[in-house]
Chains A and B, each alone.
Chain A
Amino acid sequence: DAGVTQSPTHLIKTRGQQVTLRCSPKSGHDTVSWYQQALGQGPQFIFQYYEEEERQRGNFPDRFSGHQFPNYSSELNVNALLLGDSALYLCASIRDRGDGYTFGSGTRLTVV
């Protein structure tokens, strides 16, 4: 049973560019959350998608946007990249409220 799949695994972008990260949730999971994990920090919640809509959003600027497709896969888009956007971006999926998240291995984004 495949877990959460994220692509790409690593990415280097220049300041001001735009980036799209992709996520396929675990089979049977319909809810996808995105987290940003800076070096030495815990994951910070960006937003969550359910039924193709953004259900909840963390304290991130509008430069961060997302999408969920009918097959529950999801994208995270970041516009006008800043050096401070360099981090590990984690996708996590879940089925029920009391379940533990299943995390992907993440996308390491480096902005230069």
Chain B
Amino acid sequence: AQSVAQPEDQVNVAEGNPLTVKCTYSVSGNPYLFWYVQYPNRGLQFLLKYITGDNLVKGSYGFEAEFNKSQTSFHLKKPSALVSDSALYFCAVSEASGGSYIPTFGRGTSLIVHP
């Protein structure tokens, strides 16, 4: 079975500072990894994905994520946070081949960027 852990319910950061939202995963075989953002009363918006290749993946709105196979992690990062980045962030994992490719989502991390 595949699973995702987002160990922090909330991350607080000052505007202009770098941010990191943590994600670890468990899956049989190679993973497909995703980050989504959700604003209040809205659906999820796709930010970025890791399929294969370069371990550093760049996505929308200046976000990037680093895939670390040995640590089974896929942390979301941004060099300089904006107040408008405040939202709920979800990490998701699915299997790259065989089995289920239905993404399993984490519980989410609330990012709060203070002015």
Interface residues, chain A, CB within 8 Å of chain B? 4, 6, 33, 35, 40-45, 48, 56, 58, 90, 92, 97-106, 108
Contact = CB atoms under 8 A, between A and B. Distances in A.
Interface of B: 4, 32, 34, 36, 41-46, 48-49, 51, 90, 94, 96, 100-108
Nearest to A103: B43
B107 A41 contact: yes
Given A42-B90, A42-B107, A102 B100 contact: no
Contacts of B34: 100-101
22 contacts: A4-B43, A6-B43, A35-B105, A40-B108, A41-B107, A41-B108, A42-B108, A43-B44, A44-B105, A45-B102, A56-B100, A58-B102, A90-B43, A92-B43, A97-B32, A98-B49, A98-B51, A101-B34, A101-B44, A101-B46, A103-B43, A106-B42
Contacts of B43: 4, 6, 90, 92, 103-106
Contacts of B107: 40-42
